[in-house]
């Protein structure tokens, strides 16, 4: 059995890549659901590859990973929108940074970029700060929903004979002959021939369980503001010129039609601190308004949130073999989402087959294409009417903000959703402007009816995140 520790974007895509050769692949996730860590709290950008330091591991995998997302989109039915990106120069100092980025693009092998003058830039992005002088435009930059890619990759593993196990926090490892015995917090244990450590923020701690020392990980918090769909702000991803620490507070469209501003970049101590702060959100507002002065933070804000990135002093990915048949994939900070498909291929094609000398042969019965439950609002209206005739639940709207029907909620539950966040990330229900104010009671009731859980047993996400704590009147 091949064990992958961590069901984020990197772990799930590595598991899927291994699964093309070996059926017996297990993904172990410590949390109550997949894609619940670093993967869900980032900018969701597929970067162009021009920003990373030439010669770094990040640079090696970013551009290659960007190209692989066309394949990921087709095979996993994941939405990838190549909206392009601009790095915007607002003053003379910024122009020097643009020149440096162009040099990096050339060294990193990125061909798909242009340097746009003020007129060209403002024609493409009329709401930008009129002081903008120039931009480095990269048409291959894209946006996606990272959790959707993880959900679909995990589904692919299960369809192809593997397993995805949640609430599996690794607490002890014993080497047994040439194998590992993995012990989990819930008392279970498994024997693995090969282990991939893709535990995100906790990859350094997991490595110690195998007796390996890898670069120390510290969390870097990024705070964001999500804006609604009522006003059109930008067409593409808008970056300021980057610093040595961060790519800066950006403004970008989201896949479902909203807009995102942020993130900040603050080194913190706790790997559980997902709080937002008055200071952080004020910084997001001030910096993003410098790029797009028309942003309306007084009336158009949907929500605020924070994500954590696994940083190291080396500021680079760490991907290598440890002691025995264990591979550590660690420090996967930005552009980790972009690099993930390329990292997966590197782990399988080089580290497993070349460095560990494990011969793999592609399976003939592997199912490559994975369908997803379609959002009915995105389907042809006549088709939707036919679906309603076959299943009346398709005509009962549960989430009015994002137009999600009861049929879609029930399909998500059928596919394993048990918490409100499971349903949210599988369907977009409660992701809209009201943030679940109207639909959460309905979703809670549907989960209860479909699973047999009592309403007070239905959680928001992790253990203890109850919605109601006793029997209430009928909902």
Answer yes or no: is 474 within a domain: no
- Give the integer Cα–Cα distance in Å for 24 and 14: 13
Task: Say if residue 132 is in the same domain as residue 149.
Answer: no
CATH of the domain at 41: 3.50.50.60
Name which of 111, 105, 63 is nearest 87 in CA terms.
Answer: 105
* pLDDT computed for residue 177 by the predictor: 86
Domain boundary among 353, 372, 391: 372
- Give the model's pLDDT for residue 178: 87
CA pair distance 78, 65, nearest whole angstrom: 15
Pairing between β-strand 259-262 and β-strand 318-321 as defined by DSSP bridges: unpaired
The tally of domains found in the chain comes to 3
Q: Is residue 268 part of a domain?
A: yes
8: in domain = yes
Does residue 464 belong to any structural domain of this protein?
Answer: no
Q: Are residues 151 and 262 in the same domain?
A: no
Note the pLDDT of residue 472: 65
- State whether 112 and 164 are in the same domain: no
| Domain annotation covers residue 226 | yes
Query: E strand or H helix at 289, and its extent?
Result: helix 278-291
Q: Are 294 and 421 within one domain?
A: no
User: Could you tell me if 98 and 124 lie in one domain?
Assistant: yes
Give yes or no: residues 284 and 423 share one domain. no
**Tens-of-pLDDT digits for all 475 residues of the chain?**
999 999 999 999 999 999 999 999 999 999 999 999 999 999 999 999 999 999 999 999 999 999 999 999 999 999 999 999 999 999 999 999 999 999 999 999 999 999 999 999 999 999 999 999 999 999 999 999 999 999 999 999 999 999 999 999 999 999 988 899 999 999 999 999 999 999 999 999 999 999 999 999 999 999 999 999 989 999 999 999 998 777 889 999 999 999 999 999 999 999 999 999 999 999 999 999 999 999 999 999 999 999 999 999 999 999 999 999 999 999 999 999 999 999 999 999 999 999 999 999 999 999 999 999 888 988 898 999 999 999 999 999 999 999 999 999 999 999 999 999 999 999 999 999 999 999 999 999 999 999 999 999 999 999 899 999 887 665 5
The verdict on 391 and 403 lying in the same domain is yes
Residue 134 β-bridge partners? 89, 117
Q: Which of 47, 328, 357, 369 is the catalytic position?
A: 47
Measured distance CA(216)–CA(414) in Å, rounded: 40
- Element (DSSP H or E) covering residue 405: strand 404-405
Please give the pLDDT value at position 247. Answer: 85
Together in a domain, 45 and 180:
yes
Domain end: 342, 372, 402, which one?
372
Checking phi first, is residue 464 left (phi over 0); if not, alpha (psi -120 to 50) or beta?
Answer: left
Burial of 205 (C-beta count, 10 Å sphere; 0-12/13-18/19+)? middle
d(CA 369, CA 320): 30
- Cβ burial 283-292 (10 Å sphere, 16+ → b, else e): bbbebbbbbb
**Alpha-carbon separation of residue 243 from 249, 277, 353 (angstroms):** 11, 22, 38
Name beta bridge partners: 42: none
Q: Which CATH number goes with the domain that contains 390?
A: 1.10.10.1100
CA–CA gap between residue 438 and residue 400 (Å, rounded): 8
361 part of a folded domain: yes
Is residue 463 in some structural domain? Answer: no
- Whether 397 and 424 map to the same domain: the answer is yes
CATH number at residue 104: 3.30.9.10
Helix (H/G/I), strand (E/B), else coil: 418: coil
> Are residues 205 and 154 part of one domain?
yes
Which of 356, 372, 388 finishes a domain? 372
Kindly state the DSSP code that residue 332 receives in the 8-state scheme.
-
Vertex 10 angle, CA 257 and 26, to 5°? 120
Residue 244: per-residue pLDDT: 74
Show Cβ contacts of residue 473 under 8 Å, excluding neighbours closer than 6 positions: none
DSSP string, 80-140: EE---EEEEE-SHHHHHHHHHHHHHHHHTT----EEEEHHHHHHH-TTS-TT--EEEEETT
Nearest to 118 by CA among 86, 141, 140, 142: 86
- What does DSSP say about strands 218-227 and 25-28: parallel, antiparallel, or unpaired? unpaired
Known active-site residue 47: yes
At residue 314, the pLDDT reads 96
In what helix (H) or strand (E) does residue 329 lie, and over which residues does it extend? strand 326-330
What is residue 88's predicted lDDT score, i.e. its pLDDT? Answer: 98
125 and 150 part of one domain:
no
Cβ neighbours for 298, distance < 8 A, ≥ 6 positions apart: none
Distance CA 327, CA 61 (A): 17
User: Which pLDDT does position 337 carry in this prediction?
Assistant: 98
Q: What is the pTM of this model?
A: 0.96
Look up the domain containing 284 and give its range. Answer: 85-139+218-309
The answer on 65 and 20 residing in a single domain is yes
pLDDT recorded at residue 374: 86
Asked whether residue 472 is assigned to any structural domain, the reply reads no
């Amino acid at each position: 059995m091949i064990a992958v520790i961590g069901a984020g974007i990197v772990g799930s895509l590595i598991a899927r890549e291994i699964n093309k050769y070996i059926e017996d692949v297990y993904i172990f996730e410590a949390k109550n659901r997949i894609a619940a860590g670093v993967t869900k709290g980032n900018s969701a950008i597929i970067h162009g590859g021009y920003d990373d330091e030439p010669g770094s591991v990040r640079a090696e995998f970013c551009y290659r990973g960007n190209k692989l997302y066309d394949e990921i989109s087709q095979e996993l039915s994941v939405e990838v929108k190549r909206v392009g990106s601009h790095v915007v120069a607002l003053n003379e100092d910024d122009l020097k940074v643009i020149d440096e980025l162009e040099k990096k693009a050339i060294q990193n092998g990125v061909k798909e970029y242009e340097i746009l003058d003020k007129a060209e830039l403002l024609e493409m992005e009329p709401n930008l700060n009129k002081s903008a002088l120039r931009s480095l435009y990269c048409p291959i930059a894209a946006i996606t929903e990272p959790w959707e890619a993880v959900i679909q990759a995990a589904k692919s593993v299960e369809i192809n004979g593997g397993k995805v196990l949640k609430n599996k926090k690794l607490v002890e490892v014993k080497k047994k002959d040439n194998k590992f015995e993995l012990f989990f917090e819930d008392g279970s244990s498994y024997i693995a021939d090969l282990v991939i450590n893709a535990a995100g923020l906790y990859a350094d701690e997991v490595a110690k369980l195998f007796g390996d020392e890898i670069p120390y990980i510290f969390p870097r918090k990024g705070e964001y503001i999500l804006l609604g769909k009522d006003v059109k702000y930008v067409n593409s991803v808008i970056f300021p010129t980057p610093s040595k620490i961060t790519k800066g507070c950006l403004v970008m469209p989201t896949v479902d039609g909203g807009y995102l501003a942020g993130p900040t970049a603050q080194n913190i101590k706790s790997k559980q601190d997902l709080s937002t702060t008055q200071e952080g959100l004020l910084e997001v507002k001030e910096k993003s308004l410098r790029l797009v002065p028309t942003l309306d933070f007084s009336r158009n804000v949907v929500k605020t949130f924070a994500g954590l990135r696994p940083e190291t002093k080396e500021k680079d990915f760490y991907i290598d073999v440890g002691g025995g048949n264990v591979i550590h994939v660690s420090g996967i900070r930005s552009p980790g989402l972009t690099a993930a498909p390329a990292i997966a291929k590197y782990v399988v094609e080089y580290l497993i087959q070349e460095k560990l000398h494990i011969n793999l042969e592609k399976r003939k019965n592997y199912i490559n294409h994975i369908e997803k439950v379609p959002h009915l609002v995105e389907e042809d209206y006549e088709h939707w009417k036919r679906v309603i005739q076959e299943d009346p639940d398709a005509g009962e709207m549960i989430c009015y903000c994002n137009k999600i029907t009861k049929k879609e909620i029930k399909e998500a539950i059928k596919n394993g959703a048990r918490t409100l966040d499971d349903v949210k990330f599988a369907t977009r229900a409660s992701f809209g402007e009201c943030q679940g104010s109207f639909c959460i009671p309905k979703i809670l009731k549907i989960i209860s009816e479909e699973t047999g859980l009592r309403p007070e047993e239905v959680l928001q996400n992790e253990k203890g995140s109850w919605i109601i704590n006793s029997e209430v009147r009928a909902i």
